[in-house]
Amino acid sequence: MASDTRKKLIQIDVSSDTVCPWCFVGKKNLEKAMEQSKGKFDFEVRWHPFFLNPDAPKEGVKKSDFFKMKFGPVQYEGAMSRMTEIFRGLGLEYDMSGLTGNTMDSHRLITLAGHQGYDKQNVLVEELFLNYHCQGKYIGDKQVLLDAARKVGIEGAEELLEDPIKGVDEVQEELKKYSSDISGVPHFVINNKYQLSGGQPPNEFTRAFEMAAKDGT
């Protein structure tokens, strides 16, 4: 009798904000774990919205000024130094130039991408993380979002972003469903059961994959 060689599917729901550096770190560590486990499992990663600062201005403010005010100058320098080191460990350059601000438009675009395939959505999230955290681009800039959408091949992005209301209700529904009970991001839910928070190392993800697979979920 032929053995069953089908791999178990591991579904990963990620609550994240585009301006969260730890979310990018968590994504990279998750992907390392997925690469290490691809012989055992198939994966489906789905991204959901979270707002670290829901009242952030649409027009954006200087990133360095915002975080100096939030943390204080001494803590700011320490946090930036640590983040720079962590990003370099992932082969990335952490960039504190540019603006930060409201992330609703980025979440509207990410939600739209999810309807066109989760692999495509994942590539868009990567592009937006790179834009904001490594290239000094403002995630609230419509042209930045359109450029990212075109690069990834997201259809309907211009129509979406031309209308400030389009897709907002869906983002709010996603927020309520996936992120209403959490206080920080990144937050990962494996097969609707196992939860991890923060920029976890790859081995924590691989352990969660194994536990989820044993449950047969």
| Six-digit token string for 38 | 């691809």
pLDDT at 216: 63
Q: What is the mean pLDDT of residues 111-138?
A: 98
Q: Assign 4 a pLDDT band (cuts: 50, 70, 90).
A: very low
Per cent of the chain over pLDDT 90 is 91
Q: What is the CATH number of domain 11-211?
A: 3.40.30.10
Q: 160-211, pLDDT tens digit by residue?
A: 999 999 999 999 999 999 998 998 999 999 999 999 999 899 999 999 999 9
CB atoms within 10 A of CB 31: 16
CB atoms within 10 A of CB 195: 13
| Six-digit token string for 145 | 């979002």
Amino acid at 23: C
Q: What SS3 class is residue 14? A: strand
Q: 57-74, pLDDT tens digit by residue?
A: 999 999 999 999 988 989
Closest Cα partner for 132 from 94, 173, 160, 91? Answer: 94
| Six-digit token string for 80 | 């930036």
pLDDT at 1: 40
- Is residue 104 a contact partner of residue 137, using CB atoms and an 8 Å limit? no
Q: What is the mean pLDDT of residues 112-117?
A: 98
Strand arrangement of the beta sheet that strand 194-197 belongs to: 41-49, 8-16, 187-190, 194-197
- Secondary structure element (H or E) that encloses residue 16, with its range: strand 8-16
Q: What is the mean pLDDT of residues 123-134?
A: 98
Q: 28-48, pLDDT tens digit by residue?
A: 999 999 999 999 999 999 999
> pTM of the predicted model, to two decimals?
0.94
Q: What is the mean pLDDT of residues 69-81?
A: 92
